[in-house]
Structure 1
Amino acid sequence: MTDYWFEQASKSLKQIFRQQAEARQACLAKPLGSLGELEKVAVLLAAMQSTARPAIDPVHITVFAADHGVIDEGISSSHEKLTRERIRIFSRGGAAISILARTQGARFELVNVGARGQLEPMQGVLNRVVRQGTASFVDQVAMQEDECFKAMAIGRDRVDAAWESGCRLWLAGDIGSGATSSAAALTAACLGLKAEQVCGAGSGLDEDVLALKVARVAEALRYHQITSATPPLKVLQSLGGLEIAAQVGGFIRCAQLGLPAMVDGVVGSAAALLAVRTQPAVRQWLIFSHVSAEPAHEPLLAAMAARPLLNLNIRLGEGSGAAIALGVLRQACLLHNDMATVEEMEWDWAE
């Protein structure tokens, strides 16, 4: 019997704490609005965390690893062996996100939900393999319904574990060959865009591979015939990946628990859109970290009315852009909480 846990209601933001945080911003020793988005995100976190004094620590970072069968179509610059080697680098602490997690003082874990090939036991790597890579979505569904739900449940369980450890902000990341192709296909299918609009310049591919990627994504869109009436989880099963499904489950669970979640790049944003379309209230629990160089990313952000904190043209994945944005988020909280108030000064900003 299928457990439809993802249909359970999300928590609501506590507007009284938003109002308290806004009142504090109004009396800080600075012109109102002078810190721009830092003020807004501090107020948002206050509403999310039910406190007038928000904080992001402890942060928990979960990176999900999986490969996509679409790489067999020759449309990726990476290969399945690269995913396994990257997992090994993660285990040794040498990946970009590993370094950023240490720098930010964040708890970190990597969860293998679907990398191709066998992997030896490694420190810091949880093996929760649903299947070794998805099928090519060009002319078949990427995964079956039960596989999709299993991956979503893994994301849910990792959020539960983070929540039980006292986490105040969950950050999701991903690695895997073919992931951006899946994200592009999902974006096009969900937003009614053409393949060339989501697979253009900025992806880092040479012209021949890029042309093939556009052709294969277009072919997949014709094959699956997804419309606005297609259920979002059906779209996920058709075109998505196991690491994307895990993030969908994670974002939904964060909203159910009332835990703020930080979204990384184009793959994470594709997962976020599917989570929001499954449970619209999920949107209020998401903080978008950055806009990447991937062409599908800006349409995804626009569809969710998202205002990312950074724009650094990062397209590494791993949660790296989001981990960098943690510094901005932490500073926003410190300024909100620790800045002097007008009452503590003789000068009146209104004069």
Structure 2
Amino acid sequence: MTFHTPVLPPFDPVLAARLRARINGLAKPPGALGRLEELALQLALIQETERPSIDRVEAYVFAGDHGLTAEGVSAYPSAVTAAMVATFLAGRASVNALAAACGVEVIVVDAGVDAELAVHPGLVAAKIRRGSRNAAVEPALTAAEAAAALARGGEIAAASQAEALVVGEMGIGNSASAALIMHRLAPASLADCVGAGAGHDAAGLARKLAALERAAARSDAREPLAVLAEFGGLEIAMMAGAFLGGAAAGKAMVADGFISSAAALVALRLSPGLAERLIFAHASAERGHAGMLAAIGARPLLDLGMRLGEGSGGVLAAPLLRSAARLMSETAALEDVLAGRL
């Protein structure tokens, strides 16, 4: 299968100027609401309207397993991935609690869990294969598998009826895969990309770095599709496709933490026009995320010291998106206030 990268043109500068003038003309001092005004402008440009609307927000948790876990790159066994999928579907994970508080629907996508999952109304069955291969000894994915995952992610995002999509993940070992992607596509030294993930101690972190050094030495891939195939996971590939497909469909795409940002990095290297359409929810405490955000040129909305994944930081941005859209759509113009036209 061949993946066709969508072309995402720059925002219309004439429309941008008109929208910026509208925001500055609202009943408040220009710039008084800071980043919220920037977010309102971004949403209006994404939707190509003076009155954007963010009513429905969905969080897609893409799940997949990683062959790299055979190298001890995670403090947890791969079986935890399937167990957490069951927890999401039962509505009992952290992201479920946060999403419920923020009015966000959680949808789980089986991109490549190494288990047969039962049919569930909250589960999208999109498995490409049961887990990736061990990137320390061979390519994690074939080119066809990576392309299929990209395409499927794009289809899932484009088909959503929500105005904004949070792109989250679950996959034991996926911080290792994300570190390799960052290493090649940021680019950055591998040591600056590798963090504790789900909870390594010093010995575990050293073991993780050594395994990733072996993986990096095995291939000199630097082109985004090749890097994705060599080092990526099926959930990361599907997330990258979701960013592209959702953006092409006019949706506000929200990146979560380190792994979600690695998928966004792949998508950005494939289609740089995505940058204007991406919203980075929060600064993860995972080592490497600050460098990843710097390489992308992104400013996250929140910094809460979180490093869970699952889309948990992303769903917390939903109230900010809704607030920004309503600011743009419902605030009176200053000239109307002064003229008594309320």
- 1:129-148 matches, within 5 Å, as 129-148=127-146
**Is the contact made by 1:254 and 1:285 (CA closer than 8 Å) also made in structure 2?**
no
Q: CA deviation at 1:245?
A: 0.3
- Report the Cα offset of residue 203 of structure 1: 6.3
| More off after superposition, 94-103 vs 72-81 | 94-103
Q: 2:122 & 2:285 partners in 1: Cα distance?
A: 29
5+ long unaligned stretches in structure 1: none
Task: State the 1:201 CA deviation.
Answer: 6.2
Q: Displacement, 1:276?
A: 1.0
Question: What is the CA distance between 1:254 and its match in structure 2?
Answer: 2.2
The answer on 1:343 being equivalent to 2:342 is no
1:302 partner SS: helix
Moved more, 42-51 or 57-66: 57-66
Deviations 1:315-347 (A, max 9, x none): 111111010011122222223333343224559
Per the alignment, in what secondary structure is the counterpart of residue 317 of structure 2? helix
Once the two structures are superposed, residues 72-118 of structure 1 have per-residue CA deviations (whole angstroms, 9 ceiling, x without a partner) of: 11120222111111111111111222233333333331111111123
Give the whole-Å Cα distance in 2 for the aligned partners of 1:201 and 1:81.
19
Q: How many angstroms does 1:299 deviate by?
A: 1.4
Higher mean C-alpha displacement, 237-246 vs 328-337: 328-337
Amino acid at match of 1:327: P
Deviation at 1:139, TM superposition (A): 2.1
Name the aligned partner's letter for residue 55 of structure 2. Answer: D
Deviations 1:51-85 (A, max 9, x none): 11222222222111001111111120222111111
Q: 240, 255, 261: which is aligned to 1:263?
A: 255
Match of 1:36 in 2: 34
Residue 292 of structure 1 pairs with residue 292 of structure 2: no
**Equivalent residue, structure 2, for 1:212:** 207
Q: Is 1:312 the counterpart of 2:288 in the alignment?
A: no
What is the percentage of aligned positions where both structures have the same residue? Answer: 35
Residue of structure 1 aligned with 2:246, choices 254, 258, 278:
254
**What's the secondary structure of 1:5's corresponding residue?**
coil
Q: TM-score, normalised by structure 1?
A: 0.91
Unaligned 5+ runs, structure 2: none
Deviation, structure 1 residue 160: 2.4
Cα deviation digits, residues 209-259 of structure 1 (max 9, x gap): 011111111221122123xxx320100001110000001111121232232
Using the alignment, how far apart are the partners of 1:47 and 1:243 within structure 2? 29
Give the corresponding residue for 2:108.
Answer: 110
Which residues in structure 2 correspond to 1:218-237 (within 5 Å)?
A: 218-226=213-221, 230-237=222-229
CA distance in 2, matches of 1:19, 1:326: 26
8 Å contact kept, 2:75–2:198? no
Partner secondary structure for residue 308 of structure 1:
coil
Cα distance change of structure 1 residues 153 and 89 upon mapping to structure 2, 3 Å threshold: same
Cross-structure match for 2:149: 151
- 1:313 positional shift: 1.4
Instruction: Identify if the C-alpha distance between structure 1 residues 292 and 18 changes in structure 2 by more than 3 Å, giving closer, same or farther.
Output: same
Equivalent AA in structure 1 for residue 247 of structure 2: A
Q: Within 2, Cα distance between the matches of 1:200 and 1:232?
A: 22
1:302 aligns with 2:294: yes
In structure 2, the partner of 1:280 is 272
Counterparts of 2:337 and 2:118, CA distance in 1: 61
Aligned residues: 339
Instruction: Supply the AA of the counterpart residue of 1:292.
Output: S
- Tell me, yes or no, if structure 1 residue 174 matches structure 2 residue 169: yes
- How far residue 200 of structure 1 moved from its aligned partner, in angstroms, is 4.1
- Cα distance, 1:95–1:87 mapped onto 2, change above 3 Å: same
In structure 1, distance between residues paired with 2:108 and 2:117 = 13
Q: Which moved more, 1:10-19 or 1:207-216?
A: 10-19
Equivalent residue of 2:308, what SS?
coil
Number of the residue aligned with 1:3:
2
Deviation at 1:15, TM superposition (A): 3.3
**Pick from 164, 187, 191: which aligns with 1:192?**
187
Residue type of the alignment partner of 2:121: Q
Asked whether the equivalents of residues 198 and 295 of structure 1 are also in contact (C-alpha less than 8 Å), the reply is yes
Q: Quick one: structure 1 residues 66 and 172, their matched pair in 2 at CA, closer, same or farther if it must change by over 3 Å?
A: same
Q: CA deviation at 1:33?
A: 1.4
CA 1:14–1:103: 2 relative to 1, 3 Å: farther
Q: Distance in 1 between matches of 2:122 and 2:197?
A: 32
Q: Is this contact kept in 2: 1:11–1:256, CA < 8 A?
A: no
Q: What displacement does 1:11 show?
A: 4.6
The AA in structure 1 aligned to 2:106 is F
SS of match in other structure, 2:293: helix
